[in-house]
Amino acid sequence: MKVTVETKSDKFNFPCEENESLLFAGLCAGVALPYECATGTCGSCHARVVEGEVSPGWAEAPAYSQLKPEKGDILMCQAVPRTDCVIRARNKVSLQQNEIAQDLLWTGVVVTSNKLNEDVIEFEVQLERPMRFVAGQFVTLEVEGIIGRRAYSMVNFEETSTKLTFVIKRKPGGGFSNWIFGTSVIGRRVKIAGPLGRATFRPHEDRHPIIIAGGSGIAGMMSMLRHATRLNYFRDHEGDVFFGVRALKDAFYIKELNEHVSFAAPALRVVLALSDEDPPAGRHPDFPGVWLDRGFVHDVASRRMTGKWDERVGFVAGPPQMVDGALKVLIAEGKLPQEFIRFDKFG
């Protein structure tokens, strides 16, 4: 089907299959349609149908509650065309520049699944062909029998990879979480869309990263640290990582974080912030390159970053309240301009 996207000043056409979402069809065709979460929760991709028939797709997607479907409002990440159509979108549509041109739809097979602790599983998906992605990007995963796509940031970093690594935190009642934690997933197929997202590490910017992550939000940050270490980025840049968990037993990837610190010392500092218990010491007992502190991760970051905010680029990921607190620190204390605040808006 032919889709036309109009903005105040421009018009873009692209083809779209019957079951393909408008967003992915557009992105595949090189049209940089606006989006953030790509999974129906943030509303950033909303548009209005002015001609033709478009199905809303997953009508219960949370962001639909903010819109007026009766007036033709759709979420481009969910909606699929029934006929040729014309869509009106916000002014942020452009043609892709500096983005990796490749197909956005993949199938993969789960090849490993390992518990990192009681509540966190790391799993790997083998792709049918290599994917190029930037550290900090995510994909959406879809499994037969579970409604809705879920977004996960890649933990690994190779510029081109046939395997993608993810972490997932146990979530009571979560369909995907129940599937990963409760069933045998090795060999199961997943549908993948991506790579997506612009909350990425861009070494050419020459900024000093400050990372604030809670729980499984550390995923994309590991990818960035792997890229940075590969480049020896901290030879002439500073880096500060604040990783928030409830208690020491909930932490994971500490061995690897310690390795990044050892490689980059003294320019890279990693602090594990415990919100629910006092740390046993100032440094992790097994991995002394990692500092320990007590408090919510954004408060710990605020305390430790006083006077160190110059030329920073901030990365934030984790549960919504934590993201909110961290953004406030980056804005009010860090005075970071918006372009240097990177976060994905999927909860």
Applying CB under 8 A, does 341 fall inside the site for other proteins?
yes
Residue 324 Cβ vs other proteins, minimum distance, rounded to whole Å: 5
Identify residues 137-176 at the interface with other proteins (CB under 8 A): none
- The number of residues making up the chain comes to 347
Token pair belonging to 272:
């594990």
* Beta carbon nearer to other proteins, 42 or 190: 42
Q: Which is nearer to other proteins, 86 or 105 (CB)?
A: 86
Interface pick for other proteins out of 27, 42, 93, 322 (rule CB under 8 A): 42
Stretch that binds other proteins, among 94-102, 137-145, 307-315, 321-329 (CB under 8 A): 321-329
Q: Is residue 11 a contact residue for other proteins (CB under 8 A)? A: no
d(CA 11, CA 79): 19
The verdict on 231 binding other proteins (CB under 8 A) reads no
User: What residues from 22 to 41 belong to the interface with other proteins (CB under 8 A)?
Assistant: 36
Q: How many CB atoms lie within 10 A of CB 278?
A: 11
| Binding residues for other proteins, total number by CB under 8 A | 27
User: Binding segment for other proteins among 22-30, 168-176, 273-281, 326-334 (CB under 8 A)?
Assistant: 326-334
Instruction: Identify the residue whose tokens are 């390159």.
Output: 289
The H-assigned helical ranges of the chain are: 22-28, 175-182, 218-231, 254-264, 297-304, 320-328
Contact between 328 and other proteins by CB under 8 A: the answer reads yes
Considering the complex, state which of residue 16 and residue 37 has its C-beta at the smaller distance from other proteins: 37
User: Strand 208-214 relative to strand 239-245: parallel, antiparallel, unpaired?
Assistant: parallel
Closest CA to 234 of 199, 253, 261, 211: 261
138, 344 contact by CB (below 8 A): yes
In the complex, the smallest distance separating the C-beta of residue 143 from other proteins, rounded to whole angstroms, is 29
Query: What type of residue is 272?
Result: L
44 is a contact residue toward other proteins (CB under 8 A): yes
Least distance from other proteins to the Cβ atom of residue 65, Å: 10
298 sits near other proteins (criterion: CB under 8 A): no
Residues 48-107 that bind other proteins (CB under 8 A): 48, 66-68, 71, 73, 88, 90-92
User: H or E element: which one contains 151?
Assistant: strand 150-153
Stretch of 18-26, 108-116, 132-140, 334-342 contacting other proteins, by CB under 8 A: 334-342
For the beta sheet containing 290-294, the strands, ordered from the edge strand earlier in sequence to the opposite edge, are 290-294, 268-274, 239-245, 208-214, 312-317, 341-343
Q: Is 46 in the site for other proteins (CB under 8 A)?
A: yes
101 or 332: CB nearest other proteins: 332
User: Whose structure tokens read 């050419």?
Assistant: 204
Strands 189-196 and 105-117: antiparallel
Helix-helix angle 218-231:254-264, to 10 degrees: 30
- Determine, following the binding rule CB under 8 A, whether residue 43 of this chain makes contact with other proteins: yes
Closer residue to other proteins, CB minimum distance, 105 or 331? 331
- Residue 248 sits at φ, ψ, to 5 deg, of -55, -35
Helix runs in 162-253, H state only: 175-182, 218-231
Residues that bind other proteins (CB under 8 A): 7-8, 36, 42-44, 46, 48, 66-68, 71, 73, 88, 90-92, 323-324, 327-328, 331-332, 335, 338, 341, 345
